[in-house]
């Protein structure tokens, strides 16, 4: 049986505990044995190298050097890493090794909660199969991203809330390799209620399974 570790915590505004429970249920439905932890100390356990998948949900926090070293080594060795929004894309601002692994870091969400569009750029990819571009209501993430990412979906900024980024096309969903590991990220999912959005939920679910080598 595939085993997944969900580690939640950090800023409460992203409802990490509620989201961890939702994701745990999704993974269990897909046949994973799921363990939930709420401290980054879980990343320092050498046993994580034997997992199929790790899902961090830990916004705006810190991580110890030994914890990030063990986590990045596990993914380099073949453990999947998958996550969403600030829980993975704004987890540890002072940990550049972590950000190098993820492939991006949040820097802004101009206008805060707004209506925007998500455009599918790789409809041929199995993660995006059958999903058309869609409207979304949440934070539109502006991120610093790694050019080696394989981008599956983007969004275009209008400049309404920051004129100098008018027309900027920003990755929303990507996948990448990190050593022998697979890494998946989606910037969608500010609150637990957003898991009711069918495209958001389907993309994340498929991405987690891809990272875990379904």
Which pLDDT score, from 0 to 100, does residue 188 have? 98
Which pLDDT score, from 0 to 100, does residue 16 have? 98
Which pLDDT score, from 0 to 100, does residue 3 have? 98
* Every domain of the chain and the residues it spans: 3-211
Q: Where does residue 72 rank: exposed (0-12), middle (13-18), buried (19+ CB within 10 A)?
A: buried
DSSP 74-108: HHHTT-EEEEEHHHHHTSBTT-HHHHHHHTEEEEE
Which pLDDT score, from 0 to 100, does residue 214 have? 74
Assess contact for 43 and 70: CB atoms under 8 A: yes
For residue 27, give the H/E element and its range. Answer: helix 16-29
Which pLDDT score, from 0 to 100, does residue 86 have? 98
Q: What is the mean pLDDT of the chain?
A: 98
Which pLDDT score, from 0 to 100, does residue 88 have? 98
Which pLDDT score, from 0 to 100, does residue 191 have? 98
Low-confidence ranges of the chain (pLDDT < 70): none
CA angle 197, 155, 128 (to 5 degrees): 55
CATH for the stretch 3-211: 3.40.50.880
């Amino acid at each position: 049986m595939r085993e997944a570790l969900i580690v939640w915590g950090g800023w409460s505004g992203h409802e990490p505990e509620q989201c961890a429970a939702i994701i745990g249920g999704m993974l269990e439905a897909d046949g994973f044995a799921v363990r939930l932890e709420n401290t980054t100390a879980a990343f320092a356990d050498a046993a994580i190298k034997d997992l199929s998948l790790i899902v961090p949900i830990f916004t705006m926090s810190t991580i110890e050097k030994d914890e990030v070293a063990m986590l990045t080594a596990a993914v380099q060795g073949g453990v999947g890493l998958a996550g969403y929004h600030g829980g993975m894309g704004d987890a540890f601002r002072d940990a550049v090794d972590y950000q190098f692994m993820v492939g991006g870091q949040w820097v802004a969400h101009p206008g805060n909660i707004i209506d925007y569009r998500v455009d599918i750029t790789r409809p041929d990819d199995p993660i995006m199969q059958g999903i058309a571009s869609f409207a979304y209501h949440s934070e539109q993430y502006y991120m610093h991203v790694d050019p080696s990412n394989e981008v599956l979906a983007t969004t275009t900024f209008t400049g309404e809330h920051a004129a100098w980024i008018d027309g900027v096309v920003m990755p929303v969903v990507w996948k990448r390799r990190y050593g022998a590991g697979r890494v998946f990220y989606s910037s969608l999912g500010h609150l637990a209620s957003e898991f009711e959005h069918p495209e958001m939920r389907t993309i994340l679910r498929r991405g987690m399974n891809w990272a875990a080598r379904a």
